[in-house]
A and B are shown apart, each in its own frame.
Chain A
Amino acid sequence: MSAGSRTAWHRLLLAGKPRLTKANVLATALALLLGFAIAVQVRQNSLQGLDALREDELARILDTLDKDGQRLADEARRLQTSKDLLTSSSTRTEEATRAAQQRLDALAVLTGTVAARGPGITLRIADPERKVTAAALLDAVQELRDAGAEAIQLGEVRVVADTWFADADGGVSVSGTVTPPPYVIKAIGDQHTLSTAMGIPEGVLSRIRSVGANADLTEESNLVVDALHRLSPAQYAQPVPNASTSQGAP
């Protein structure tokens, strides 16, 4: 150890000796303050939040947040628009599907490919003397159609647009199915209208009775027409597409 070094250590020791001078007290106070400040600053730094940042840093963060907010708002608007679009289009699809289903149901009842249920009348014609002809039955069916019957069944045969009647041995041939008496006609429609249509003077009932047969009419609130008609595809007629097809049932 050189002389200079020794002097230095000696001076350090000398300075380290506890002396109660005004300057020493002041220095101690400053050192105390410094230590305190260091500890506080270290702690502050470890839990640094937004309030410890400088103005320009805060401005940058604010700017970034602004841009983010703008971007997210744009995205939200875009998504909302596409959601609205999807909702409305799916609503339209649902409506179209429902309308199509309604038309399908109506057409199926009309063409007799499905069973039908509803209020209506049952016309039971007992004909022990075989006086009731196919023409009389056709009259009855025609009268029921005029009165608004939506589904008609004669015996075990569904009466549709192309159903025909002919006299046959042992009864009446309905579209080729020989039906013996008693003939049972079920018709779904407004009960009152149908029974009135049957009972008018010189109408179906009176004519049937006039030939000596016995007709019995009952109104039913829950009638089931369950005879089905097998649909054969049209051979010549082709449907013409119509751009402005009506949405409702026919």
Chain B
Amino acid sequence: MIPALGLGIGVILGLILQPTVPGWLQPYLPIAVIAALDAVFGAIRAILDGIFDDKVFVVSFLSNVVVAAFIVFLGDKLGVGNQLAIGVVVVLGVRIFSNVASIRRHLFDA
């Protein structure tokens, strides 16, 4: 409950403060957000599976974000930044969908 509240507060804070994303972060922030969302949905699924672990969530959240950003960074350096970013988004999107499907099966038996 409290993390959900934190999410809402974060959105509101972002809307109020309206910070500018620094230039070096701009290519990686969207990918990092997608990766974090994947971690969040994975955590919800783990709760429903009864195997949720706080430490695992925190580590997976942070590592997801860092790895996604690093892959895109590497892609940029190799000259395939765009394609690699698309690949990362596709993989994370598939994972989010499968997690959501699992959550749905748990909650609604469907």
Contact = CB atoms under 8 A, between A and B. Distances in A.
B81 A35 contact: no
Interface string B65-95: 0000000000010010110000000000000
B82 A43 contact: no
A1 B106 CA distance: 11
Given A5-B109, A24-B54, A35 B14 contact: yes
Contact of B10 (A2, A32, A54, A55): A32
Given A51-B26, A54-B76, A55-B76, A27 B57 contact: yes
Contact of A32 (B7, B15, B40): B7
Interface string B1-35: 11111111111111100111101001101101100
Interface in B31-62: 32-33, 36-37, 40, 43-44, 47-48, 50, 52, 54-55, 57-58, 61-62
A40 B26 contact: no
Nearest to B18: A43
Interface residues of B, number: 49
Nearest to A9: B107
Nearest to B72: A54
A35 B9 contact: yes
Contact of A41 (B1, B3, B29, B47): B29
A233 to B, nearest CB: 86
B10 A34 contact: yes
A33 B11 CA distance: 9
A159 B69 CA distance: 105
A35 B11 contact: yes
Interface of B: 1-15, 18-21, 23, 26-27, 29-30, 32-33, 36-37, 40, 43-44, 47-48, 50, 52, 54-55, 57-58, 61-62, 76, 79, 81-82, 106-109
Given A27-B58, A28-B3, A28-B6, 18 more contacts: A5-B108, A12-B44, A12-B48, A15-B52, A17-B1, A27-B2, A29-B6, A30-B3, A32-B13, A34-B7, A34-B10, A37-B10, A38-B14, A39-B11, A39-B13, A39-B14, A51-B26, A56-B82
